């Protein structure tokens, strides 16, 4: 395996962790906004407790993927950063606003002491809305990259900076990303509580979002016929592509079965498998292109020396990162699951 392939794989692995961990945190913000009924306050308390200790640490995976792209594939980084600077800027604003709102709402002791409900309500809405908009923009960026329409060398402002991402396929991927994150959050939250009432609340939401995601995934796949021809051909015109599509369908059915029969931990594993297949299906369908139809992992790669040192840094960093995150998870998972 070439150094270029290893670096591209590192980006995909880091994005996978980001989807599985930070994605669920964003999805929890969706349910924070949609909390209703007599258990609304308990739903929000469960969400705060589930994501509070570790939500900020999950951004390390996005930082890692961007760092590897910048260092190992500077040409691709430059073209993506230039052509998609509008959605990328919105993505960063969403991440910052979400983090700020969560911190201010949770730790504003002075406001809490004064029982300033308007302030709390403002930050709650800011947290929830940014949690919804940010995944949509992230999906739009992924859809724009997959579409193969980014070309910063010609066209007017609209053609270069608007048209690549403001199109049916990227927008469909944006909505699919939001639904996927909400689905993951609902499945995870089912496991986080011992309250049967809350479990039933989030179990129903997980089942509903799973069905919505399956239907919207088919729509996005259909739009890829024109919106991302390389992805369409790879997933529908090759044996391994059909294997990915059928495996995703099997995992979706297995997740629904697990949720329906209340086998929650199995459902969580199946849900994570779905997300992984979707992400890796996109990566494999696009390989070896970082930015179709011209920028590949080979013609965009940095020098061999840079890639070798980058690999050394990744190995050394992994030896520090994974034990640290494992310890962090263990520390905050020693407490009992949430009970209102």
Could you tell me the mean pLDDT of each successive run of 10 residues in the chain, 340 residues long? 92 93 86 80 78 72 92 93 94 88 65 59 82 93 91 77 92 95 91 84 92 92 92 92 91 92 91 92 92 90 93 93 82 55
Q: How far apart are the C-alpha atoms of 237 and 224, rounded to whole Å?
A: 13
Confidence at residue 54, expressed as pLDDT on a 0 to 100 scale = 66
Say if residues 114 and 60 touch (Cβ distance below 8 Å). Answer: no
Confidence at residue 149, expressed as pLDDT on a 0 to 100 scale = 86
Provide the whole-model pTM.
0.90
Confidence at residue 315, expressed as pLDDT on a 0 to 100 scale = 94
**Of how many residues is the chain composed?**
340
Q: How far apart are the C-alpha atoms of 194 and 178, rounded to whole Å?
A: 26
Domain boundaries, the chain: 3-333
Dihedral angle sign, alpha carbons of residues 274, 279, 283, 285: positive
Q: How far apart are the C-alpha atoms of 292 and 146, rounded to whole Å?
A: 7
Q: How far apart are the C-alpha atoms of 95 and 115, rounded to whole Å?
A: 27
Q: How far apart are the C-alpha atoms of 316 and 310, rounded to whole Å?
A: 10
Q: How far is CA 3 from CA 7, 13, 302, 308, in A?
A: 6, 15, 10, 7
Look at residue 21 and give its three-state secondary structure. helix
């Amino acid at each position: 395996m070439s150094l270029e392939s290893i670096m591209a794989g590192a980006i995909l692995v880091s994005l996978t962790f980001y989807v599985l961990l930070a994605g669920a945190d964003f999805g929890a913000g969706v349910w924070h906004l949609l909390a209703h009924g007599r258990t609304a306050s308990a739903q929000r308390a469960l969400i705060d407790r589930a994501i509070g200790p570790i939500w900020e640490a999950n951004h390390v995976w996005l930082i890692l993927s961007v760092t590897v792209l910048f260092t190992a594939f500077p040409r691709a980084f430059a073209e993506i950063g230039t052509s998609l600077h509008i959605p990328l800027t919105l993505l960063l604003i969403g991440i910052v606003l979400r983090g700020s709102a969560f911190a201010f709402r949770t730790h504003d002791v002075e406001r809490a002491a004064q029982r300033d409900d308007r302030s709390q309500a403002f930050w709650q809405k800011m947290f929830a809305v940014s949690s919804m908009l940010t995944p949509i923009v992230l999906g739009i960026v992924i859809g724009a990259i997959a579409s193969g329409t980014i070309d910063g060398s010609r066209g007017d402002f609209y053609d270069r900076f608007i048209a690549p991402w403001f199109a049916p396929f990227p927008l469909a991927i944006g909505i699919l990303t939001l639904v996927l994150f909400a689905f993951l959050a609902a499945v995870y939250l089912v496991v986080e509580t011992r309250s049967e009432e809350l479990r039933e609340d989030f179990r129903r939401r997980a089942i509903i979002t799973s069905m919505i995601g399956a239907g919207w995934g088919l729509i996005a796949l259909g739009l890829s016929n024109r919106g991302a021809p390389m992805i369409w051909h790879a997933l529908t015109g090759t044996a391994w592509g059909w294997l990915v599509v059928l495996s995703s369908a099997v995992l979706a059915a297995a997740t629904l079965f697990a949720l329906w029969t209340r086998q929650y931990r199995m459902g969580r594993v199946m849900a994570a498998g779905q997300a992984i297949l979707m992400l890796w299906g996109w990566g494999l369908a696009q390989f070896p292109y970082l930015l179709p139809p011209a920028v590949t992992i080979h013609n965009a790669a940095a020098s061999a020396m840079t890639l070798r040192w980058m690999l050394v840094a990744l190995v050394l960093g992994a030896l520090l990162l994974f034990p640290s995150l494992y310890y962090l998870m263990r520390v905050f998972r020693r407490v009992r699951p949430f009970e209102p």
